[in-house]
Amino acid sequence: MNPTCDPSLKSWIPVSADSDFPIQNLPFGVFCRRSGEVAVGVAIGDQVLDLAVLHGAGHFSGTPVATDNVFARPTLNDFLACGRAAGSAVRAVVSSLLAEGNATLRDDTTLRNQTLVPQSDVEMLLPTQVGNYVDFYSSKEHATNVGSMFRDPSNPLLPNWVHIPVGYNGRASSVIVSGVDVRRPMGQTKADDADAPTYGPCRLLDFELEVGFITGSGNELGAQIPTDRAADHIAGMVLLNDWSARDIQKWEYVPLGPFLGKTFATSISPWLVTLDALEPFRVPGPQQDPQPLPYLQFSGDWAYDMQLEVWLQAADMSEPVRLTKTNFRYMYWNMLQQLAHMTVNGTNVLPGDLYGSGTVSGPTEDSRGSMLEICWKGTKPLTLPNGQQRKFIADGDTVIMRGWCQGDGYRIGFGELRSTVLSASE
């Protein structure tokens, strides 16, 4: 076991048992102080540890980032470009400094006050400058549900689905961080009984519960990343809400696939949870049948026992209500396969690129990852505690996503991914 994952580790910083950010987690993010200073930090309990200040104090000597303060930057990109080994080295230093019994930072009052800031006093920013964004479609349960609704329930999957991790290139410029509002998109839609399309606000706005991974060191154009080296190129994971305008998408997607119905917003959580922190929670994934082609085969367990939830709070509700609870371990295609398939044609990936898993749905009705599935294409509306009904997302609704891996007395969490829907700008 990686020593930074030891369940017995404790920090001299108080951390509650239900916190997403114990010393076993130590996710990376970009934060802005009230003074306007921006830096890379690590979450620990309800605090943020400023890595730029720590670097200036010489605490990362002997690591791959010793000579360049990559933490005094407005994104994680330069740090991620140093590779996964550099991230692991930094994580080890931080874990040691925060460990119970280590007085180096704890008893240095001046440095401690400079480096630690309450999370409530900072604004979390987009963790990376996203150069490229790819969204996959890798949950067999989700693909089966959608195929049953819109195609043949007895044969819901298209022939290629069990042979390749299906995906598409999305729009990086509209990737936003948790807390940024989402405006209902405008576009063309066409009713089934109409002769022509009309222009107006999306009426069938939906969330998609996903987990994203972010790449670290990339590859040269023309080179592939095989499955046995893919993990070395993955810096960590975030929660992801792939907002979808179902009615706009329905009209536009033939013949080239998703376009305006997807590109208006993609929300991600601000903390990048590393593969090191998630290592203890790797589990076997679903059996893949037929066996994938050799370039998609892999060894080891690469699914994760990660609990995922979506909550909804209408504008006049005092508390949110849970809509679904599922688990990331259900995903048919894993990250190694997705990255290997993405690069099999020689495409190059960059540090900070974002890859969405596709909607995470489970095998039961209460584990579906989108309103399209929860309300089954609008035929089974749900009733909220305030008496209102929902088939899709309404203006003023706040969608909250949460995810964590449960350890023995601690959890490795992502924090909340929260977005409120604003009315369309006509």
Do 73 and 185 share a structural domain? no
Q: Does residue 281 fall inside a structural domain?
A: yes
pTM: 0.97
Same structural domain, 179 and 81:
no
Same domain, 98 and 185: no
**Positive/negative CA dihedral, 346, 351, 352, 356:** positive
> Is residue 342 a part of any domain in this protein?
yes
Q: How many domains does the chain have?
A: 2
d(CA 377, CA 372): 5
Together in a domain, 181 and 270:
yes
Q: Can you give the CATH number for the domain in which 85 is found? A: 2.30.30.230
Same-domain check for residues 97 and 157:
no
The SS3 assignment for 77 reads helix
User: Do residues 354 and 236 both lie within one domain?
Assistant: yes
One domain for residues 160 and 291: yes
Measured CA to CA, the distance from residue 223 to residue 345 in angstroms comes to 8
Please calculate the CA angle 157-369-261 and round it to the nearest 5 degrees: 75
- Would you write out the chain's pLDDT as a tens digit for each of its 426 residues? 799 999 999 999 999 999 999 999 999 999 999 999 999 999 999 999 999 999 999 999 999 999 999 999 999 999 999 999 999 999 999 999 999 999 999 999 999 999 999 999 999 999 999 999 999 999 999 999 999 999 889 999 999 999 999 999 999 999 999 999 999 999 999 999 999 999 999 999 999 999 999 999 999 999 999 999 999 999 999 999 999 999 999 999 999 999 999 999 999 999 999 999 999 999 999 999 999 999 999 999 999 999 999 999 999 999 999 999 999 999 999 999 999 999 999 999 999 999 999 999 999 999 999 999 999 999 999 999 999 999 999 999 999 999 999 999 999 999 999 999 999 985
- Tell me the catalytic residues: 142
In the listed set 95, 125, 155, which residue is the last one of a domain according to the structure?
Answer: 125
Asked if omega into 290 is within 30° of 0 (cis), the reply is yes
Instruction: Indicate the DSSP class of residue 376.
Output: T
Q: Do 148 and 225 sit in the same domain of this protein?
A: yes
Q: Give yes or no for a contact between 124 and 31, defined as CB atoms under 8 angstroms apart.
A: yes
- Domain-ending residue, one of 107, 125, 143: 125
Of all helices (H) and strands (E), which one includes residue 78?
helix 77-81
Q: Calculate the dihedral angle through the C-alpha atoms of 103, 106, 109, 114, rounding to the nearest 10 degrees.
A: 130
Whether 395 is covered by a domain: the verdict is no
Looking at the structure, do residues 252 and 340 belong to the same domain, yes or no? yes
Q: Residues with Cβ < 8 Å from 152, sequence gap 6 or more? A: none
Q: Are residues 189 and 218 in the same domain?
A: yes
Q: Answer whether residue 319 is part of any domain.
A: no
DSSP 329: G
- Its sign, for the CA torsion 80, 81, 82, 83, is positive
Q: Is residue 121 part of a domain?
A: yes
Provide the domain limits for residue 222: 133-302+328-376
Instruction: Give CA–CA dist 384/1, Å, rounded.
Output: 44
Task: Specify whether 35 is located in the same domain as 10.
Answer: yes
Determine which helix (DSSP H) or strand (DSSP E) holds 130, and give its type and residue range.
none
Q: Is residue 417 domain-resident?
A: no
- Has residue 118 been placed in a domain? yes
**What is the spatial distance between Cα 190 and Cα 261, in angstroms, rounded to a whole number?**
13
User: Residue 258's domain is classified under what CATH number?
Assistant: 3.90.850.10
Domain co-membership, 74 together with 154: no
Residue type, 209: L
Q: Any idea of the CA torsion for 354, 19, 399, 280, to the nearest 10 degrees?
A: 40
Final residue before a domain boundary, out of 96, 125, 154 = 125
Q: Is residue 219 part of a domain?
A: yes
